[in-house]
Amino acid sequence: MAIGSTHRDCGPEIARWAAFAQTLADENAVFRAERDRLLLRVEELEAALDAAKAELVRLTLVLRHESERSPRPEPAPEPEAACGDQHPSAAPERRRRGQQPGAPGHGRRRYDHLETTEEVLVPSPEALVCPTCGRPYQAMAGKEDSSEELSWKVSITRVIHRRPATPGPAPARGPGPSSPPRRRPR
């Protein structure tokens, strides 16, 4: 379109854009109808989900084991004993399973069965003097400090399998295709 042209020259262009606008308006109406239909479907599905959740709660309550349905009996309050008297007929309270309060715990695991190496750490002579006065420390007879550390090493080993050559049947005519040696199962 030229700069000095009039609106009469733009007739086909205007018609094209008007048709395009009408096409977009039609598509928009279709999309709005689709959106309204999907919103109704979402409401239906949410209502169905709420009903399914309510049914699940009802079935959970009905199908539980009988011991789960009945409420746990509350422990009866202990009658006040006069002057420290105990009722011999009273049954002792049932304890919970597992570690009991006041009972000794489990000890640390023993590692005496592992291979042991001993390292004696001797400090340097410079570390065996007092930093303020410079006099040497005295050794404490019969006293030593020791600690244990668990260390582990991983080793990767290459295994070479050698098979002695065994004589086989003689080939009929020259060498033929050979297959690789079979691997042994591990």
Q: What is the pLDDT of residue 164?
A: 75
- Rounded to 10 degrees, the C-alpha dihedral 27/28/34/36 comes to -160
Domain-embedded: residue 175: no
Q: The pTM is what?
A: 0.30
CA pseudo-torsion sign 121, 125, 131, 134:
positive
Q: How many CB atoms lie within 10 A of CB 126?
A: 7
Burial 86-105 (b: 16+ CB within 10 A, else e): eeeeeeeeeeeeeeeeeeee
Domain-embedded: residue 135: no
Domain-embedded: residue 3: no
Is 79's pLDDT higher than 60? no
- Residue 93: band (very low, low, confident or very high) from pLDDT cuts 50, 70, 90: confident
Domain-embedded: residue 130: no
Domain-embedded: residue 126: no
What is the chain's mean pLDDT, rounded?
78
Angle at the Cα of 100 from the Cα atoms of 96 and 106, rounded to 5 degrees: 130
Question: Any bridge partners for residue 136, and if so which?
Answer: 129
Domain-embedded: residue 30: yes
Instruction: Please give the residue that has the higher pLDDT: either 16 or 86.
Output: 16
Q: What is the pLDDT of residue 124?
A: 84
Q: What is the pLDDT of residue 89?
A: 59
**DSSP assignments along 108-161, one per residue:** PPP-TTS----------GGGGB-TTT-PBPPP-TT-------------------
Q: What is the pLDDT of residue 48?
A: 95
- Residue 177: band (very low, low, confident or very high) from pLDDT cuts 50, 70, 90: low
Instruction: Please give the residue that has the higher pLDDT: either 17 or 7.
Output: 17
Domain-embedded: residue 41: yes
Average pLDDT of the residues in 132-153: 81
Q: Nearest to residue 15, comparing CAs of 6, 4, 23, 26?
A: 23
Is 53's pLDDT higher than 90? yes
Is 37's pLDDT higher than 70? yes
Domain-embedded: residue 92: no
Range of the domain at 39: 10-67
- Count of the separate structural domains present in the chain: 1
Is 49's pLDDT higher than 60? yes
- How far apart (Å, rounded) are the C-alpha atoms in residues 9 and 7? 5
Q: What proportion of the chain, given as a percentage, has pLDDT over 70? A: 72
Is 175's pLDDT higher than 70? no
- Residue 19: band (very low, low, confident or very high) from pLDDT cuts 50, 70, 90: very high
**For residues 129 and 135, is the Cβ–Cβ distance under 8 A?**
yes
